[in-house]
Amino acid sequence: MRERGTLIMLFEQRDRIVLIGDSITDCDRRRPVGDAGEGGAGHGYVELADAFLQSAYPELKLRLINVGTSGHTVRDLHGRWESDVIEQQPDWLTIMIGTNDVWRQFDRMTMPELAVPIDEYERTLEELVVRTKPLVKGIVLMTPFFIESQRADAMRVEMDRYGAVVRAVAERTGSVFVDTQAAFDRVLEHMYSAQLTWDRIHPGKTGHMVIARALLDAVGFDYNKRA
């Protein structure tokens, strides 16, 4: 690891960093995998994080690979884990999943089989992390989020419960934890949610920058570093 002042940069020379999730990660990435650079990883936080990393740490020659898929839940991740994670042979893996696991409880109330109950969510997420951890240098677990400042909102309450599960799994497995919801909450103290998103789920460019910075902060990115 590289130490600069009090910061420890977790990513090292030529690390392959695979990022998996749902539509918030997908962002129209290329198929079958979205290699970052020139839009290959879509138009969201993955490309933004890559731009930061390449501009500040060009000597590391990092490779970010986006395997997010729109509409997916943790149940779907389980089904494609071998091809989209294990076969990609990552050095680092970031996981941000849970939005659809919760959302289907609210927008498809007549189809409860589409939602993922919190106990299944926790069990499946931890199973995937435990299975993969011996194969990688580290795993970053990012909470799902709801871009809504009213914490009593029913969907916000449920999303916070799933976020607490991510924190617990991260603690039990020794994974890096990113409180993505908290990162949005800091911005929501000064901005109305509609300035960040049209549906309180899919962020615009500013929202994706919030996610990218939360991820970079967690891995020890030095904003003062010059190439």
Catalytic residues: 23, 199, 202
Q: What is the largest CA-CA distance in the chain?
A: 54
Report how far residue 165's alpha carbon sits from residue 122's, in angstroms, rounded to the nearest whole number. 6
DSSP 8-class letter at 159: H
Element (H, E) at 205: helix 205-218
Backbone angles phi, psi at 67, to 5 degrees: -125, 30
Report how far residue 65's alpha carbon sits from residue 47's, in angstroms, rounded to the nearest whole number. 10
Q: Is 183 exposed, middle or buried (0-12, 13-18, 19+ CB in 10 A)?
A: buried
Give the pair of three-digit tokens for residue 76.
Answer: 């779907």
CA-wise closest residue to 155 among 191, 121, 201: 201
Report how far residue 132's alpha carbon sits from residue 100's, in angstroms, rounded to the nearest whole number. 23
Element (H, E) at 139: strand 138-142
* Residue recorded with tokens 């990552």: 90
